[in-house]
């Protein structure tokens, strides 16, 4: 059975929106895009590279796919495995794309993802995809969290855990602190 692993940059107040850059996700007039930049250091870079180099397929929401699909094919030298991974994209409006291999999921997304989990193959990594994450949490489909928790609050933006998240227990499996104060933590789901 495949695991679903949510990989997120998160502020102390739970914001996951647009960590990488100002144009990443401006929805709801979010003004703080790129908020992780001041905290970059070698420890964070190392942790990210390690996670990027594990075997995986991607599970993405449509918006994240639309941001990533024009970028990553042109940056294969940085992360070659992202282009080889199968991209499963949750969307009721998008049915095709040039970035391959890609499979579009529509209709009952939770049921289709549950079926994906039952298949053999690498774990499914979820980056960004805030709306999709809420569906996954609501249906108890997330098996692990790989978080980078930054020492700042933003006060607004899309949250890692929003309304509809069901109670779930996680156990800490790895942790370290970067020189800039970022907590790098991995959690595995335990029983409720």
pLDDT on residue 192: 59
**Is it the case that residue 9 has pLDDT exceeding 70?**
yes
Q: Say what the pTM is.
A: 0.94
- CATH level 2 (architecture), domain 4-179: 3-Layer(aba) Sandwich (3.40)
Encode 45-76: b = buried (16+ Cβ within 10 Å), e = exposed: eebbeebbeeebbbbbbbbbbebbbeebeeee
- Which tokens belong to 56? 């995986």
71 touches 27 (CB < 8 A): no
Question: pLDDT at residue 191 above 90?
Answer: no
Strands in 183-189's sheet, in edge-to-edge order, are: 102-105, 87-90, 57-61, 124-127, 4-11, 144-150, 183-189, 170-177
pLDDT digits (tens, 9 = 90+) for 19-76: 999 888 889 999 999 999 999 999 999 999 999 999 999 999 999 999 999 999 999 8
Amino acid 162: pLDDT? 87
SS3 166: coil
pLDDT for 163 beyond 90: no
pLDDT tens-digit map of 74-133 = 998 999 999 999 999 999 999 999 999 999 999 999 999 999 999 999 999 999 899 999
DSSP string, 42-89: HHHHHHHHHHHTS--EEEEEHHHHHHHTTTGGG-TTT-HHHHHS-EEE
Q: What is the pLDDT of residue 89?
A: 97
Position 68 scores a pLDDT of 93
Domain boundaries, the chain: 4-179
């Amino acid at each position: 059975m495949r695991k679903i692993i949510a990989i997120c940059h998160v502020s102390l107040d739970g914001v996951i929106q647009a960590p990488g850059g100002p144009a990443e996700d401006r929805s709801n007039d979010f003004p703080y895009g790129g908020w992780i930049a001041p905290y970059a250091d070698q420890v964070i870079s190392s942790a990210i590279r390690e996670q990027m180099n594990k075997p995986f397929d991607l599970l993405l929401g449509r918006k994240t796919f639309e941001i990533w699909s024009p970028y990553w094919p042109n940056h294969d030298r940085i992360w070659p495995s992202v282009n080889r991974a199968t991209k499963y994209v949750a969307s009721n409006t998008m049915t095709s794309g040039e970035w391959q291999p890609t499979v579009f999921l529509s209709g009952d997304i939770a049921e289709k993802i549950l079926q994906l989990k039952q298949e053999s193959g690498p774990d499914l990594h979820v980056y960004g995809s805030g709306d999709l994450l809420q569906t996954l949490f609501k249906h108890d489909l997330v098996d692990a969290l790989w978080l980078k928790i930054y020492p700042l609050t933003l006060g607004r933006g899309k949250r890692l855990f929003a309304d509809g998240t069901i109670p779930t227990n996680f156990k800490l499996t790895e942790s370290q602190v970067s020189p800039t104060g970022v907590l790098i933590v991995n959690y595995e789901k335990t029983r409720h």
